[in-house]
Structure 1
Amino acid sequence: MTDHPLPAGTVGPAGPGGGEPADRPTADAWAALGGPADLLSRVSFHGPDGVLPSRLPVRRLARATVAVCSLAAAELAALRSGGPVPAVRVDQGAVATAFVSERHLTVDGRTPVSFAPHSGFWRTADGWVRTHANYPHHRTRLLSALGLAADAGPDRLAEVLAGLPAEQVQERAYAAGALAVAVAPVSETVHPLVEHREVAAPGAVAGVAVGTTGSVGTAGTAGTDGAASARPLGAAPVDRPAAGLRVLDLTRVIAGPVATRTLALLGADVLRIDSPRLPEAEDAHADTGFGKRSARLDLAEPADRAVFEDLLATADVVVSAYRPGALDAHGLAPDTLFARRPDLIVVQLCAWGWTGPWAGRRGFDSLVQAGVGIAAHEAADDGHPGVLPAQALDHGTGYLIAAAVLRALSDRHTGRPGGRHLRLSLAGTASWLLHGIEREVPSEVPSETPGEAPSEPYDPSGWLAETDSAYGKLRHALPPIGYEGAPADWSRPPGRWGTDAPVWL
């Protein structure tokens, strides 16, 4: 495994006149993804500066992740269409609106509830703890771990937590499969933003010609061991650079679904597969299910497993967001996948990073914010822990995942055939936010810097739309991907979760 931490001293993209660097976080993220540095001159920003206000540089993180995803899409669009790389112009208002898409969502005028009553910050005997109990099974496990009845309310939970040390609550919850994390000071641990390695495909063609046909990957022949190489995808229009790509989506909640929602926007055939044994919040799927299809398969049942194997046989990308090792028993460990399909692009997402004692623990954005010190950093004057203005670890990592997939396709196109193993974590994005992005002093932020237009007032309504769906009329955030010729909206609204046929289109 080759680690790619944020490079020090990377020069950011130049402004329209090719002068001083306009945005170092974008350059750093692009370098971590292995992107060609000369393409950074294509990137500029506009729109309101006063978005996603925070003591931490959340705005800069958010726009950088969308910028590299937009640039990766533009790069691939050029390769598959035979034209020049389109200019990338990222609207900060669109970014800010998309980063809180779950808050803007309404379903027939109803606003979904983001956090359940048993989720949140709670005082303990020696500090604070953050719980996550949005799913019924997580709430049941949390209450059981604390010796409470399954119907105990938030007041009773608060009473019990107030008499226990935060770390004891954390460890009791972990042992019970529940979710609670002690609010910690800022961590000095630095996680890489992206980790990736290339997987050599047996018998792979050493190079691929770049031309108007735009085929991505190798020539589609069999390797020396009979394993098929990557499917040629052919030419594609600029607004659908991922057209023909088959993405097996094994993700839940926000980060992974944001990534695959973005790939679907860009033309990929994305099929999400869930276990019928795990519940899902329909409102969450109404937000992140745009452009995708969704089916349920029980991999422990022979008939469902056979269907899944047929899907896997012709998939181009597998994106998983279960905790490390959770899918290994089903034969879905990366090395097992590559032994069968050395051409695959395999992306893994976890909460706490890929090494260390917490690597195998469950986690969500809110818990990682608490565990790495963001909640303490954002605390109020009275000591109550704070939060970022968006679930920025989730959304930012989602756009990084999509960018990593698009970049892998471009790399294969330009002569580096074979599979790719990409690993990202919420902790890696948090580490970047805490340690890798220079903070801005609000009074010193200029109204105009190279590559940016003057600041404008922020009103999210310009980046919201209404769409009829199986759930009813949805008000939703529009996609923030910004390059010349980029799609303005998804081709289809979300269908009902788990009700699509498990087949490729």
Structure 2
Amino acid sequence: MTDIASDSASDVAPDIVSAWTALGGDPALLSRVTTTERPEALPARLPVRQLARACVGACALAAAELAARRAGLAEVPAVRVDDGAVATAFHSERHLLVDGRAPVTFAPLSRFWRTADGWVRTHANYPHHRARLLGVLGLPEDASPQQAAARLAERPALEVEEAVYGAGGLAVALRTPKEWAAHEQAAAVAARPLVERERLDATHARVLAPLDPATAPLLPAAGLRVLDLTRVLAGPVATRTLALLGAEVLRVDAPWLPELPDQHADTGFGKRSAVLDLRTDKKTFEELLASADVVVTGYRPGALDRFGLSPQALIGRRPGLVVAQVSAWGAYGPWAARRGFDSLVQVATGIAVGEGSAEEPGALPAQALDHGTGYLLAAAVLRALTEQSYDGGGRSVRMALARTARWLTDGIRPAPATGTPYEGPGSWLAEADGPLGRLRYALPPVSFAGGPADWARPAVPWGSDPARWR
């Protein structure tokens, strides 16, 4: 194992080593990483700061590795990870301002509720999820949070969980770590690696054009086309990162599922946005797929299979493709087909109890499962492209928020509280004008020598681009 130099300590940083190992990276490259540790960033009982730093550091190293491969560099560019930049990026949706207006993060019905025997947390940011929750509660569309609280207080938490999920909504009963450990889904999650990686065909991949090492910035994903079929929040963070690194990212949404405007603005940097009905316009999708290098999906497992979008089906039609998938609970176990979000995974896996108590649940200081998984997913794509440049072949990579949660609770050791002071996010915020107005936003935390410091362009309005490559 190779030591990682640090501004605040000379010992190895096991969190980054763990992430890099999960990605199948060469341990010798870890010597290229240095860190600036700021113990006051992302304060929590669990080692959230270490998880966040590990995910970003591994992503930056994967980007630097691919850049060196494509530019013919004798040495992988140096990587620096600053806890301040990482903490700011992990709060990106909170730091966003649109023409001076603060974002809307959680809707009134997305919160913890007392039940007859405990707590339940719901997610109702999207109108269709709100409608399904209210339908289960027997309430009208204009019902108030107070009315919902009264109905929920009458029912057991597990009964609410099953009823709301059965109606296509989102609600999860609060569980202790011990209760989650005894759950079948926890066992299924624990049996899988943090990053699932598989080679799916032996076709020689397309040869990526070499990069001129004198060109600034050095963009390891330049010339790559990424089909972005993701929503909320890990998938869009991954594709936003690939856009930073030079990829042409086209996000494609169903026309009947508009994205929340502030969420779209935050995760849309560097991308284009189109709508496409896969039920009626398969021809357009196949034209996009025919020249795509990467497809990233963020829907619950199996939801896209009926459109022929499983990894095997995609690579069967586009040999040499890299397919990346992210879900809440994993593509296995009794909860494989369930919808989920970061806040709900925290509640199910015992994190909410760990950050508070069974009597008064808490939450992580950021949606760290989403952001962390997003950066690791981008790293897995970059590593797949590097591996592919040597031996060809289509690749599949897959991650789950629940598996990242297990890593946070059982796989990362807390670090000593020493390092550089954290004086807030100001140094890592920027502003730019664009089609959505004047945006204040968090700068990207992924950084390596010669690499990009910001996205080439801000977000565009949802669905404002044609469904075609440039």
Q: Note the 1:377-396 alignment, pairs <5 A.
A: 377-379=354-356, 383-396=359-372
Match of residue 200 from structure 1: 201
Q: Does 1:152 align with 2:147?
A: no
Partner in structure 2 of residue 406 of structure 1 = 382
Q: Alignment partner of 1:409: what SS? A: helix
Is 2:268 the partner of 1:267? no
Q: CA offsets, 1:23-80, max 9 Å, x none? A: 1111111011010010001111115221000000000000000000000011011111
Shift of 1:269: 0.4
Give, in whole Å, the separation in 2 of the partners of 1:438 and 1:106: 35
Counterpart AA for 2:167 = A
| Post-superposition offset of 1:108 | 0.7
Contact preservation (8 Å) 1:91, 1:482: no
User: Structure 1 residue 177 and structure 2 residue 156: aligned?
Assistant: no
With normalisation by structure 2, the TM-score equals 0.94
CA distance, structure 2, for counterparts of residue 262 and residue 142 of structure 1: 33
2:392 is matched by which residue type in structure 1? P
Please, which of 298, 303, 327 is the counterpart of residue 350 of structure 1? Answer: 327
Structure 2 alignment gaps of length 5 or more: none
Tell me the distance in 2 between the aligned counterparts of 1:249 and 1:281. Answer: 16
Aligned to 1:339: 316
Q: Distance in 1 between matches of 2:28 and 2:434?
A: 42
Does 2:213 match 1:234? no
CA contact (8 A) 2:200 2:312 kept: no
Tell me the distance in 2 between the aligned counterparts of 1:422 and 1:39: 21
The alpha-carbon deviation at position 306 of structure 1 amounts to: 1.2
* Residue equivalent to 2:114: 123
Aligned to 1:54: 44
Residue 285 (structure 1) aligns with: 264
SS at match of 2:391: coil
CA 1:141–1:485 in structure 2 vs 1: closer, same or farther (change >3 Å)? same
Structure 1 distance, partners of 2:354, 2:315, is: 41
Match of 2:67 in 1: 77
For residue 334 of structure 2, give the secondary structure of its aligned residue in structure 1.
coil
Q: Quote the Cα distance in structure 1 between the aligned partners of 2:253 and 2:142.
A: 28
Q: Percent identity?
A: 59
Match of 2:153 in 1: 162
C-alpha contact (below 8 Å) 1:124/1:162 kept by paired residues: yes
Preserved contact between residue 295 and residue 322 of structure 2 (Cα < 8 Å): yes
Is the aligned partner of 1:434 residue 2:409? yes
SS in 2 for 1:467: strand
- Equivalent of residue 291 in structure 2, options 304, 314, 333: 314
Tell me the CA shift for residue 471 of structure 1. 1.3
Inter-partner Cα distance in structure 1 for 2:102 and 2:2: 40
Structure 2 CA distance for partners of 1:56 and 1:254, relative to 1, 3 Å: same
Deviation at 1:334, TM superposition (A): 1.4
Does residue 461 of structure 2 align to residue 496 of structure 1?
Answer: yes
Query: d(CA) in 2 for partners of 1:272 and 1:25?
Result: 31
Name the SS of the counterpart of 1:196 in structure 2: strand
- What is the CA deviation profile of residues 280-312 of structure 1, one whole-angstrom value per residue up to 9, with x for unaligned ones? 1111111000000000000111xx321111000
Letter in 1 for 2:368: A
Does structure 2 retain, via aligned residues, the 8 Å contact 1:479–1:488? yes
CA distance, structure 2, for counterparts of residue 483 and residue 232 of structure 1: 21
Check conservation: 1:108, 1:474, Cα contact below 8 A: yes
Q: Is the 8 A contact 2:432 2:458 kept in 1?
A: yes
CA distance in 2, matches of 1:466, 1:232: 33
- Give the TM-score normalised by structure 1: 0.88
Cα separation, 2, equivalents of 1:459 and 1:172: 42
CA separation of 1:12 and 1:63: change in aligned 2, threshold 3 A: farther
Equivalent position SS for 1:27 = helix
Q: Provide the C-alpha distance between the structure 2 equivalents of 1:20 and 1:91, rounded to a whole number of angstroms.
A: 16
Say if 1:13 and 1:26, in contact at 8 Å, map to a contact too: no
* Partner residue, 1:29: 19
* Structure-1 residue corresponding to 2:420: 455
Q: Distance in 2 between matches of 1:156 and 1:42?
A: 56
1:327-354, Cα deviation, whole Å (9 max, x unpaired): 0111111111122223010011110022
Mapped contact 2:133–2:169 kept (Cα < 8 A): yes
User: Which 4+ stretches in 1 moved above 2 angstroms?
Assistant: 11-17, 19-22, 187-192, 230-239
Amino acid at match of 1:101: S
SS in structure 2 at match of 1:242: coil
* Counterparts of 1:159 and 1:140, CA distance in 2: 17
CA distance in 1, matches of 2:407, 2:322: 24
* Cα distance in 1 for residues equivalent to 2:167 and 2:6: 55
Letter in 1 for 2:369: L
Question: Given that residues 2 and 28 in structure 2 are in contact (C-alpha distance below 8 angstroms), is that contact kept between their aligned partners in structure 1?
Answer: no
Deviation at 1:279, TM superposition (A): 2.2
The 8 Å contact of residues 233 and 245 in structure 1, kept in 2 or not, is answered as no
Return the offset for 1:231: 4.9
User: Superposed, which structure 2 residues align to 1:290-309 within 5 Å?
Assistant: 290-301=269-280, 304-309=281-286
AA in 2 matched with 1:342: P
- Deviation digits for residues 113-158 of structure 1, max 9, x if unmatched? 1000011000000100000000011000001012212221100000
1:68 corresponds to which of 58, 64, 68? 58
* CA contact 2:84–2:422 (8 Å) conserved in 1: no
Q: Deviations over 1:409-468 (max 9, x none)?
A: 11112x22101011101011101001100134xxxx252xxxxxx412322111000111
1:89-104 equivalences in 2 (<5 Å)? 89-104=80-95
CA contact (8 A) 1:12 1:25 kept: no
- Could you say what the CA RMSD is over the residues aligned between the two structures, in angstroms? 1.6
Number of equivalences: 455
Residue type at the aligned position of 2:202: A
Deviates more, 1:274-283 or 1:180-189: 180-189
* 1:257 alignment partner in structure 2: 236
Contact 1:48–1:458 at 8 Å: present in 2 too? Answer: no
| In 2, Cα distance between equivalents of 1:47 and 1:375 | 25
Q: Note the C-alpha offset of 1:253.
A: 1.5
The 1-side partners of 2:16 and 2:340 are apart by 26
AA aligned opposite 2:249: V
1:359 Cα deviation (Å)? Answer: 1.0
